[in-house]
Amino acid sequence: MVRVPLTEAERARGERLGAVLREARGSRSMVEVAAEAGISVETLRKIETGRIPTPAFFTVVAVADAVGLPLEALRGAVPA
C-alpha cells in the first residue's frame, strides 16, 4: 500500500496539534501521560513533535483526556 505524501498544511496542522498537547501536558512527565492514555511514550513523543501528523482519533482523545484538555478546546486550537 502506498501512502499519499502529506501536504505542508497537513504537516503544519500535525505540528500544531503536538504543540497544543505538549503545552496541556505541562510539567507532567511523558511517561505519566502516556501510561494514563494507554499509549507508548514513543508514540506520545512522536505526536508532540509532529512526527505523527495524523494520529488516530481515539489516540488523540485518550491523550487529551489524560492531560485534561476538552476536545472542544483542542478543536479550537488546531485548524481544520
pTM: 0.89
Q: How far apart, in Å, are the Cα atoms of 42 and each of 26, 33, 37, 79?
A: 18, 12, 13, 25
SS3 state at 57: helix
Q: What is the pLDDT of residues 12-29, one digit of tens each?
A: 999 999 999 999 999 999
What residue ranges define each of the domains in the chain, with the CATH number in brackets? 8-72 (1.10.260.40)
pLDDT confidence of residue 57: 94
Q: What is the pLDDT of residues 37-57, one digit of tens each?
A: 999 999 999 999 999 989 999
Examine the pLDDT at 79 and tell me if it is beyond 80.
Answer: no
Dist CA 47 CA 19 (whole Å) = 9
pLDDT confidence of residue 69: 95
